[in-house]
């Protein structure tokens, strides 16, 4: 409502240039419309996250700057209405209508996109994703969010332009262990081999921040520790291929070997950030070359050879591929004295 900000059920009819809404009396709509929204010059926001407890909103702003908030009964209904209303707004421009339908299943993530930046925004206390308690099959989970809520948030904050694109981005967050599934519904989906099917754009699939992504360098001790990690003398650096711990896939990483203190850090070369995406102390580590005749246990996927393995003192196994046997030998020779 415009005067009293309450919510009322209305029957909506979409015409080519306007949206009519009717009062409901006795289960039937009245013959004449209660009001109309002229679509010429309108802008539409979907998903609209201005109301924390109403995730299924569409916002229409007329060219006279009047805001209309329309709540749907389901995400699918909301997205369908939004697409049709957007088509009506651009009805006089058939090329734009075609582009809108193409965008619905588009995929064109920004090349410079930073997952770290997205997670930082997600964790913001005012504009980040809202964390709630959820109950699934008798289990109570704290500080979770649903798959569809994350997709809505990514689109609303302009990290993605379509649900398909947002699902892909959410899958990347999960693959890099920023977000993890909780509960049977979302955990079951991770068994699919296709990454695009592992994250569910669903209001019943639950997710939460992984512990690694929630660590905030706030205390003085933690800050000093992290600075000291990166303060050592660089002994060697270069590009290697590393197997992921969770998905067991292989990704190119820029490795930096430091001494005093002895650490091996790795960076994502697609990001402009200068902080590592992972790393570990070399004290107490074991490093060894792996034979090229056959794939060792614990190694999966596309293995080209020239493998070596580092086992930390906490018994974490890192599998790394070099581009040649000579390069592998150089890295092992550089790492061994620092263990």
φ and ψ at 22, to 5 degrees?
A: -120, 150
Cα–Cα distance between 205 and 134 in angstroms, integer?
10
Q: Give 210-269 pLDDT, tens digit per residue.
A: 865 554 434 333 334 466 777 888 999 988 888 887 667 788 888 999 998 899 999 887
pLDDT the model gives residue 330: 94
192-208 average pLDDT score: 79
Query: What b/e sequence results for 232-264 when a residue is b if at least 16 CB atoms lie within 10 Å of its CB, and e otherwise?
Result: beebeeeebbbbbeebeebbebebbbbeeebbb
pLDDT the model gives residue 102: 53
Greatest pairwise CA separation for the chain in angstroms: 86
Q: Give 222-234 pLDDT, tens digit per residue.
A: 334 466 777 888 9
Q: Give 72-115 pLDDT, tens digit per residue.
A: 988 778 888 988 898 888 876 655 555 555 555 444 444 456 77
Per the document, the length of the chain is: 339
Strands 18-22 and 278-281: unpaired
Q: Give 269-326 pLDDT, tens digit per residue.
A: 777 667 788 888 899 999 999 876 555 655 655 566 788 999 998 888 899 988 888 8
Please, what are the domains in the chain? 10-104 (2.30.29.30), 115-216 (1.10.10.10), 227-336 (2.30.29.30)
């Amino acid at each position: 409502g415009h005067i009293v900000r309450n919510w009322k059920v209305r029957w909506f009819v979409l015409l080519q240039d306007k949206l009519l809404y009717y009062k409901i009396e006795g289960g039937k709509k009245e013959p004449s419309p209660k009001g109309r929204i002229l679509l010429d010059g309108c802008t539409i926001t979907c998903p609209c996250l201005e109301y924390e407890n109403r995730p299924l909103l569409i916002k229409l702003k007329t060219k006279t700057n009047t805001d209309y908030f329309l709540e749907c009964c389901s995400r699918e209904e909301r997205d369908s209405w939004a697409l049709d209303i957007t088509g009506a707004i651009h009805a006089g421009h058939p090329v734009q209508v075609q582009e809108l339908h193409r965008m619905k299943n588009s995929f064109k993530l920004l090349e410079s996109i930073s997952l770290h930046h997205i997670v930082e925004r997600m964790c913001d206390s005012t504009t980040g994703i809202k964390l709630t308690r959820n109950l699934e099959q008798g289990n109570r989970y704290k500080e979770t969010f649903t798959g569809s809520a994350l997709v809505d948030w990514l689109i609303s904050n302009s990290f993605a332009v379509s649900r398909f694109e947002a699902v892909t981005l959410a899958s990347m967050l999960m693959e890099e262990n920023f977000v993890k599934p909780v509960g049977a519904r979302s955990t079951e989906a991770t068994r699919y081999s296709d990454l695009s099917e592992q994250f569910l754009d669903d209001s019943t699939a639950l997710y939460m921040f992984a512990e690694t992504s929630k660590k905030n360098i706030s205390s003085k001790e933690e800050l000093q520790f992290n600075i000291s990690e990166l303060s050592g003398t660089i002994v060697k650096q270069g590009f290697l291929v590393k197997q992921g711990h969770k998905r067991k896939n292989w990704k190119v990483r820029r490795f930096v070997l430091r001494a005093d203190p002895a650490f091996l850090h790795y960076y994502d070369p697609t990001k402009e950030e200068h902080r590592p995406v992972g790393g570990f102390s070399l004290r107490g580590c074991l490093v060894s070359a792996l034979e090229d005749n056959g794939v060792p246990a614990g190694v999966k996927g596309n293995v080209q050879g020239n493998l070596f393995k580092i086992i930390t003192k906490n018994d974490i196994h890192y599998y790394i591929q070099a581009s040649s046997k000579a390069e592998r030998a150089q890295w092992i020779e550089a790492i061994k004295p620092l263990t």
